[in-house]
Amino acid sequence: MGAARDAAVTPDPPPVGDLSKAQYDGWACCWCGSSLLSVKAVPAGVSRGSSGVHVLDIEVWACPGCAVAPQCRTEEGSPAARAGRIRGT
């Protein structure tokens, strides 16, 4: 039941095509784009994508702020929002 509850509360990470190189490589938060080099990263799930028949799915990481406070994911000032990867709710 815990896994089903978490899946219902936590949205899926952005698709692979929406990730920056740093986000794809695990150096930046998949939600806000902040650096994860000096903070303890939290698993954020699997970002899904494909290129033809090639599956590009990758495990992505989040900063502690986005893992605890989902509003960070939709802040208009975040790097991902400025790049058009996050739309406010």
Report the C-alpha gap between 77 and 32 in whole angstroms. 9
Query: Pick the residue with more confidence: 7 or 66?
Result: 66
For 35, the token pair is 């650096």
In terms of C-beta density within 10 A (0-12 exposed, 13-18 middle, 19 or more buried), how is residue 56 classed?
A: middle
User: Which residues 6+ apart lie within 8 Å of 50 measured at CB?
Assistant: 56
What stretch of H or E contains 51? strand 50-51
For residue 82, is pLDDT > 70? Answer: no
pLDDT band (50, 70, 90) for residue 65: confident
Tell me the per-residue pLDDT of 21-33, one tens digit each, with 9 for 90 and over: 999 999 999 999 9
Q: CA dihedral defined by 80, 2, 64, 88, rounded to 10 degrees?
A: 30
